Chains A and B, each alone.
Chain A
């Protein structure tokens, strides 16, 4: 980093000289050094004695009432963060101290959350955003901390979630006091994650920091929303605000951009295609993120009587609505994709892993028209391949779906005649019948293995629903690996009741993301529920302590199938392909011998827990007790030994 403030340097010169004088002491023999390191108390030599008994050099400066980090904290507070998550690190110790001792509101807005791993910090911010709709800040070393954090940042990036990442770094090598500070310093801190963040900066002055901090927030919150990185130089944090800056530093005003809405003519064209269609189908990706977005989804689907295929990235549609999942993509003549990152995959099939070779097949019928409203078209990077396969569409609208939906609804309304309305109502009745059949099919399927041990995932879901149905609840976990049972059995209606999953399937997301989401739910008094995969929890289980320490009410129900089960199935596939050792796929993929006792693990972190529970009859009373604990405002974990999926 280039230092521009020579005046600031002059201001500091006296302090630096004083410090140099203080550290100048006679060399010690090797043995003495070791003795000193061990903390024994040798008699002072003459130089030490003189230093301790003499008045300090006149130039020595020990304190400041105005460290640069105070101004940084002022900027950060202006952005309205509720929380900042961090595992402590020396490169941001100045800012850490400023935040927890800020004049007038120490450790408030943001409140510092103590995390045991930077991956946890980021994933907590990831989950928090998907409930609260605003970013959480995290702090980390620009080197080792960011290395820990990087997978979680990639998850957030792929899931289009803004995480505000502040990195500490010592840019000026002459200020690095030890090998620790050398190894924790970096020339270009953000480069490590630049492929999967939206913007970054390494400010060279406090005013530069202020403007970049506000700019970063604005960029992160403009769809497509993504993580951003801001580097806070450690020297700038810790040294006093330069004299020449005092009185002229200012916190810039934040004014968020209006999210991008679809071009009016393109929206009208989309409306014409949808209203004219006999079999329109809506595919929802990251379509809704607020109550208004969910309401728009319902309004559009009901207006057109168009079924919704949910890709389960967000709470896009009520799960018991007659139009939820009741359509078939092969029947559609017009498909409306709403921020669907995997649109190609929704419309094609591929040769599965069990067969040699690769063939793809279009699922849609010939002549089907495809409209895609997609904010992803406004921002793309090259290296990481989360953008998926290129989807051929007939009308591409580069815009945010939620922002565009009201205009699309109005455009459709203008075109719907009485005849079309009658036709829509007729097809709606068929979808209602299909939805009823689907529901009965799911209930029938849930009955199989209902009394089995290990406990079936359908049974766990039914037991949970029985205790949650009268509560204000929020499912804060992905349920892909739970055969989607909650989505098939529960009544999801509200925007906070489902938040999707990892983004990039980086395992280790679930436990911390659920804690972050539960933190966001806390002030609304909601019961947060996390169906926790065992393999995921083992990446960074320290987040259980964070939940206990900060009294974050969260019910964690272990999906303890004792395996990295997806990988187990894949290895089984490979063994079958090779016609050998089909009984050996468990090697390297299972988590047994010894079995992990998650109830004891949770207790060790200070959390209420029970289990392991293998008998389904024991589940209801255990859940009931745990929910009471959560209602008291604390986290609880129930270890349930489950069927694989």
Chain B
């Protein structure tokens, strides 16, 4: 079998934007299910940690409105998910799930990474 590779770098998911402090709306539990069911985990990882094929989104670097805007018209290699296949309500739940993902520990608190510095 032959497979091809994504030849472009992972989508730039507006990294660098300050994490929003907006209170989450929607259901994190349902968002977690949708995150897997609708395939978000494929590029972003099950906890949104990011991979070579998808930017880090857990915890999310955007507010909900910006995330929805990006999902509808992504700037990078991410597929565009229209309202027809992924509603604003579902995205709100997905956003709530991503907000529920704990922030990572500091490198100094992860010995395996700290010794790599």
The yes or no verdict on A and B being binding partners is yes
B72 vs chain A, min Cβ distance (A): 11
Residues of B within 8 A of A586 (CB): 39
**Contact for A456 among B45, B76, B77, CB less than 8 A:** B45
B81 at the interface (CB under 8 A from A): yes
B1 vs chain A, min Cβ distance (A): 5
- In angstroms, Cα B80 to Cα A575, docked, is 10
- Which one, B17-25, B62-70, B107-115, is touching chain A? B107-115
Chain A, 112-126, contact with B by CB distance < 8 Å: what is the 0/1 string?
000000000000000
Residues of A within 8 A of B92 (CB): none
Residues of A within 8 A of B49 (CB): 445, 448-449, 452, 456, 458, 643
Which residues of A316-375 are within 8 A (CB) of B?
345, 349-350, 352-354
Do residues A447 and B113 form an inter-chain contact, with CB atoms below 8 A? yes
Number of A-B contacts (CB under 8 A): 147
- In angstroms, Cα B6 to Cα A354, docked, is 10
**Contact for B6 among A353, A444, A450, A643, CB less than 8 A:** A353
Which residues of B1-53 are within 8 A (CB) of A?
1-8, 37-39, 41-43, 45-53
- In angstroms, Cα B42 to Cα A586, docked, is 10
Chain A, 422-464, contact with B by CB distance < 8 Å: what is the 0/1 string?
0000000000000000011001111111101010111100110
**Contact for B42 among A459, A489, A644, CB less than 8 A:** A644
Do residues A450 and B52 form an inter-chain contact, with CB atoms below 8 A? no
Which residues of A497-532 are within 8 A (CB) of B?
504-508
- In angstroms, Cα B9 to Cα A186, docked, is 47
Do residues A352 and B77 form an inter-chain contact, with CB atoms below 8 A? yes
Do residues A577 and B79 form an inter-chain contact, with CB atoms below 8 A? yes
Which residues of B48-98 are within 8 A (CB) of A?
48-54, 56, 58, 74, 76-82, 84-86
Do residues A643 and B104 form an inter-chain contact, with CB atoms below 8 A? no
- In angstroms, Cα B89 to Cα A274, docked, is 56
Do residues B3 and A567 form an inter-chain contact, with CB atoms below 8 A? yes
Given contacts A353-B77, A452-B46, contact A447 B107 (CB under 8 A): yes
Name the residue of chain B whose CB is nearest to the CB of A589: B42
Residues of B within 8 A of A456 (CB): 45, 49
Do residues B8 and A350 form an inter-chain contact, with CB atoms below 8 A? yes
B37 vs chain A, min Cβ distance (A): 5
- In angstroms, Cα B2 to Cα A507, docked, is 7
Residues of B within 8 A of A583 (CB): 37-39
A465 at the interface (CB under 8 A from B): yes
Query: In the complex, which of the residues B51, B58, B80, B117 has the most CB atoms of chain A within 10 Å of its own CB atom?
Result: B51
Residues of A within 8 A of B76 (CB): 352
- In angstroms, Cα B110 to Cα A568, docked, is 32
Which residues of A479-507 are within 8 A (CB) of B?
480, 483-484, 489, 504-507
- In angstroms, Cα B1 to Cα A505, docked, is 8
Do residues A504 and B2 form an inter-chain contact, with CB atoms below 8 A? yes
Residues of B within 8 A of A457 (CB): 51
- In angstroms, Cα B11 to Cα A549, docked, is 45
**Contact for A572 among B42, B45, B107, B115, CB less than 8 A:** B42
Do residues B113 and A572 form an inter-chain contact, with CB atoms below 8 A? no
Which residues of A3-19 are within 8 A (CB) of B?
none
Residues of A within 8 A of B39 (CB): 568, 572, 582-583, 585-586
Do residues A643 and B45 form an inter-chain contact, with CB atoms below 8 A? yes
B93 vs chain A, min Cβ distance (A): 14
Name the residue of chain A whose CB is nearest to the CB of B79: A576
Do residues B47 and A576 form an inter-chain contact, with CB atoms below 8 A? no
Residues of B at under 8 Å CB distance from A? 1-8, 37-39, 41-43, 45-54, 56, 58, 74, 76-82, 84-86, 104-107, 110, 112-113, 115-117
Return 27 A-B CB contacts under 8 Å, by A number: A352-B76, A354-B77, A354-B80, A445-B50, A447-B104, A447-B105, A448-B56, A450-B105, A450-B113, A452-B46, A456-B49, A462-B116, A484-B52, A489-B116, A504-B2, A505-B5, A506-B2, A566-B4, A566-B5, A569-B42, A575-B85, A576-B85, A581-B85, A582-B38, A586-B39, A645-B45, A645-B52
